[in-house]
Structure 1
């Protein structure tokens, strides 16, 4: 039988776990900024020129948290079998391949079922039509619902035993307190520490851009 002191200790641990939402094995935490990624498009230079004109260059509107990344002034229209999404922001710089990132809810509007994928993984994903002021393009794949992920600086990853494309857990406090499981870690020396979720995840958890989460280390 458990001694009374042992029982008291177990009860205290259980209460603390429920209160904090942190697993017993968690040794420490690290704060991370969470930003919400609304629907957006990454364009190749070829598609950029079809949509906006020969030799066109994106016009930076505001810098994003990751170095070199920016929201452009340019927007496009996304066309699906059932509907359209207007004023979809283009993000820069240009990429080798065009990618459209939408939420599952956006997919209902378009009549497209986006697969939850890491950025750049387009195998088996649906396509769409993209319309700009000078023309339109049809992509055969590349429409995704971006997997929740954390940009992890290489030095921080090395110090904390985080491998590229491994998974982390992130605790978010607040009215709808929860733990995000299977948050993809993307490691690069060019990154700053930042977590991205889509609008569906943000709405469900009551998170807004700039809120903080806690990476849980076991």
Structure 2
């Protein structure tokens, strides 16, 4: 087995909210409630869910992730974009300039988000120690090979190396299902 193996996870639709938008959707002074911890230290799935409303349709019960962020960002798959009537660009997290918006509906209010909906680009979170072990640096692009009956090679995979990250590759549900991978399966990082 290669020494460049790492786990993969499928990332379902979700959103990160600013504190201002949390309070608009859930009430003044509202704090998110932790449902469960995520693989990345300090990140969690909140108990709260909202509805996303586009020109073509609504996606109900979209999970909020915490903690609050400086600005609101929604991550959906390309198929979700068709359901909403938008075309989310494939972007690295945080790169939302010029992306479409949607209406976010919560129990206490609504946010008419002007931009901020993306299809997150495939990426690998890794601790800086893992980056050294794998021979990669932050923001480098690599390939990742899956195995099995529907094996694929994912290209243009962004490395996100930081001392607070835990080793895991993230793809959206569309990509993961097309490749036949499941959460926690091991995949191989390929350097050229």
Aligned counterpart for 2:63 among listed residues 89, 93, 110 = 89
**Larger % of helix: which?**
1
**Inter-partner Cα distance in structure 2 for 1:203 and 1:158:** 30
**Structure 1 ranges of 4+ moved more than 4 A:** none
**Contact 1:104/1:113 (<8 A) preserved:** yes
The C-alpha deviation readout for 1:143-173, integer Å capped at 9, x for no partner, is 0000000002112223443121111111110
- 1:61-210 paired onto structure 2 within 5 Å: 61-210=35-184
Q: What is the Cα deviation at residue 29 of structure 1?
A: 4.2
Instruction: State the Cα distance separating 1:137 from its structure 2 match.
Output: 0.4
Secondary structure of 1:180's aligned partner:
strand
Pick aligned residue for 1:46 from 20, 23, 26: 20
TM-score of the aligned structures, taking structure 1 as reference length: 0.85
1:5 match: none
Which protein is bigger by CA-based radius of gyration?
A: 1
1:76-114 Cα distance to aligned partner (Å, 9 max, x none):
000101100000000011100000000000011100100
Paired positions, count: 191
**Structure 1: any 5+ residue segments left out of the alignment?**
1-27
Q: Give per-residue Cα distances to partners, 1:30-54, cap 9 Å, x unaligned.
A: 1111110000010000000000001
* Partner SS, residue 137 of structure 1: strand
Instruction: Please list the CA deviations of residues 108-158 of structure 1 after superposition, one character each: whole Å capped at 9, or x if unmatched.
Output: 110010000000001111111100000000111110000000002112223
Q: Give the TM-score of the pair, scaled to structure 2.
A: 0.96
Q: Distance in 2 between matches of 1:52 and 1:32?
A: 38
CA distance in structure 2 between the aligned counterparts of 1:90 and 1:213, rounded to whole angstroms: 28
- Consecutive unaligned residues in structure 2, runs of 5 or more: none
